[in-house]
Amino acid sequence: MKVSREQVAENRKRILKVASKLFREKGFDGVGVDAVMKAAGLTHGAFYGYFSSKEELIDQACAQGLADVDESWRASSDPLTALAGLYLAADHCENPGEGCLLAALGSEVVRQSGDARRALTDALRARIDILAELSPGDSPAARREKAIATWAGLIGALILARAVDDPALTGELLRTGKAVFGGKRGHARRSGKRPTGRSPLVRHP
Amino acid sequence: MKVSREQVAENRKRILKVASKLFREKGFDGVGVDAVMKAAGLTHGAFYGYFSSKEELIDQACAQGLADVDESWRASSDPLTALAGLYLAADHCENPGEGCLLAALGSEVVRQSGDARRALTDALRARIDILAELSPGDSPAARREKAIATWAGLIGALILARAVDDPALTGELLRTGKAVFGGKRGHARRSGKRPTGRSPLVRHP
DNA sequence: TGTACATCAGTGAACGCGCGTTCACTGATGTAC
DNA sequence: TGTACATCAGTGAACGCGCGTTCACTGATGTAC
B46-56 CB burial, b ≥16 within 10 A, e <16: ebeebbeeeee
Q: Are B72 and B85 within 8 A, CB to CB?
A: no
Q: Which nucleotide is nearest to B49 (CA to C1')?
A: C9
In one-letter notation, the amino acid at residue A63 is: A
Distance from CA of B39 to the nearest CA of A (A): 20
What's the pLDDT at B62?
97
Q: Are A143 and A151 in contact (CB under 8 A)?
A: no
Q: Is A27–B29 a contact, with Cβ atoms under 8 angstroms apart?
A: yes
Residue A62: predicted pLDDT = 97
Question: What's the pLDDT band for B185 if we cut at 50, 70, 90?
Answer: low
Chain A CB contacts of B163 below 8 Å: 102, 106-107, 109-110, 117, 120-121, 124
Give the C-alpha separation, B150 to A179, whole Å: 13
Rounded CA-CA distance B62/B135 in Å is 27
Per-residue tens of pLDDT for chain A, all 205 residues:
789 889 999 999 999 999 999 999 999 999 999 999 999 999 999 999 999 999 999 999 999 999 999 999 999 999 999 999 999 999 999 999 999 999 999 999 999 988 999 999 999 999 999 999 999 999 999 999 999 999 999 999 999 999 999 999 999 999 999 999 997 654 333 333 444 434 445 544 3
Residue type, B136: P
Among B99, B123, B115, residue whose Cα is nearest residue B199? B99
Measure Cα distances from A161 to A24, A94, B13 in Å: 16, 9, 30
Chain A residues in contact with B160 by the CB 8 A cut-off are 102, 106, 124, 151-152, 155
CA to C1' distance (Å), from B204 to D12: 55
Please name the amino acid found at residue B58: I
**From CA A14, how far away is CA A96, in angstroms rounded?**
18
From A96, A149, A169, residue closest to B125, measured CB to CB: A169
3-state secondary structure of B124: helix
pLDDT at B191 over 70: no
pLDDT of residue B188: 35
B54 in reach of chain A (CB within 8 A): no
**Would you say A39 and A47 are in contact if contact means Cβ atoms under 8 Å apart?**
no
3-state secondary structure chain A: CCCCHHHHHHHHHHHHHHHHHHHHHHCHHHCCHHHHHHHCCCCHHHHHHHCCCHHHHHHHHHHHHHHCCCCHHHHCCCHHHHHHHHHCCHHHHHCHHHCCHHHHHCCCHHHCCHHHHHHHHHHHHHHHHHHHHHCCCCCHHHHHHHHHHHHHHHHHHHHHHHHCCCHHHHHHHHHHHHHHHCCCCCHHHHCCCCCCCCCCCCCCC
- How many whole angstroms separate alpha carbon A86 and alpha carbon A55? 31
What nucleotide is nearest A51 when CA is compared to C1'? C21
- Closest nt to residue B41, judged CA to C1': C10
- B23-54 per-position pLDDT tens digit: 999 999 999 999 999 999 999 999 999 999 99
pLDDT tier at B187, thresholds 50, 70, 90: very low
Instruction: Determine whether the interchain pair B124/A160 forms a contact, defined as Cβ–Cβ distance below 8 Å.
Output: yes
B1 touches strand C (CB under 7 A): yes
**Distance (Å, whole) CA A108 – CA B75:** 33
pLDDT in tens, B106-145: 999 999 988 999 999 999 999 999 999 999 999 999 999 9
